Structure formats: structure tokens, C-alpha cells
Amino acid sequence: MVRYEARRDPDTELRGRLRELANEHRRFGYRRLFVLLRREGEPSGINRI
């Protein structure tokens, strides 16, 4: 039997930085965290965040 295997990059750096920001700013939602990442120069879109 053949199973589906995801080919997406795990984005460990992006996920780690997102967790750091979320711990610093507990009340922020994903939209405000996205804005903070954009200010730091992250090129990823909102769907990836």
C-alpha cells in the first residue's frame, strides 16, 4: 500500500520565532504576530503563518 507523504518544509526557524513572539505577547493573535514578523522582514504570507 502506498501512503501520502507530505513534501512541505517544516519551517523550524519560522515556527520557533513565532513561538517566541507568542510567549512575549500572550494576548496577541495570529494577525498581530504576523505584523510583527513582517516588521522583522519575514517574507511569508499570512496563510503560512
Contact 26, 19 (CB under 8 A): no
Domain regions of the chain by residue span: 11-49
Q: What's the average model confidence in pLDDT over 2-9? A: 88
Whole-angstrom Cα distance, residue 47 to residue 30? 10
DSSP the chain: -----------HHHHHHHHHHHHHSTT--HHHHHHHHHHHT----TTT-
Global model pTM greater than 0.85: no
- For residue range 14-49, what is the model confidence (pLDDT) as tens digits? 999 999 999 999 999 999 999 999 999 999 898 888
**pLDDT > 90? residue 9:** no
Position 29 scores a pLDDT of 95
Query: What is the predicted pLDDT for the residue at 6?
Result: 85
